Amino acid sequence: AAARCGAAREGRGAAVPVTPAVPVTPGGNGNGMDAPSAAGLGGADPQLQRFIEVETQKQRFQQLVHQMTELCWEKCMDKPGPKLDSRAETCFVNCVERFIDTSQFILNRLEQTQKSKSAFSESLSD
C-alpha cells in the first residue's frame, strides 16, 4: 500500500490518483434507467416514484462512500494503529479529493458525450 500512495504517503503533498469504478450520474441508478422505469412504475403515483428515486440516490451514495472508503484505506493504511499519523491523514485527504474530482470529471464527460450524440441525432433528422 505504501508504494501505491506515492509522494503523499511521504508527506510531500502530491495527489493520489484515484479512479472510481462506477461514476454517479444524476437521475439514474447506474444501469441507464431511472428508478421508476427500472421498477416498472411508469404510470404509478408520483409520490411513490419520487420516494423510489430518493431511496435509489441514497443507495448509490452509500455505495460510493463504501467504494471510496475501501479504495482509500487500501492506498493509505499500512499498519492500522490507535491513531492516524499525519502521512496517512494527508494520503486520505488526497485520495478522497481525487475520487471526488474524478467522479465529477467522468460525470461531466458523460453529459458532454450525451449532448453531442443528441445534437448529432437532431442534425441527421433535419
Q: State the pLDDT at residue 27.
A: 45
Distance CA 66, CA 47 (A): 29
Q: What is the DSSP letter of 61?
A: H
Q: How far apart (Å, rounded) are the C-alpha atoms in residues 43 and 86?
A: 54
Lowest mean pLDDT among 16-25, 73-82, 99-108, 113-122: 16-25
Closest alpha carbon to 64 in 6, 110, 20: 20
Domain limits, the chain: 2-125
Q: Which amino acid belongs to residue 66?
A: H
The model's confidence at residue 42, banded by pLDDT at 50, 70 and 90, is low
* Side chain identity, residue 88: A
pLDDT tens for each residue of 48-98: 999 999 999 999 999 999 999 999 999 999 888 899 899 999 999 999 999
- 112 within 8 A of 37, measured Cβ to Cβ: no
User: What would the DSSP string read from start to end of 84-98?
Assistant: --HHHHHHHHHHHHH
What's the predicted TM-score (pTM) here?
Answer: 0.53
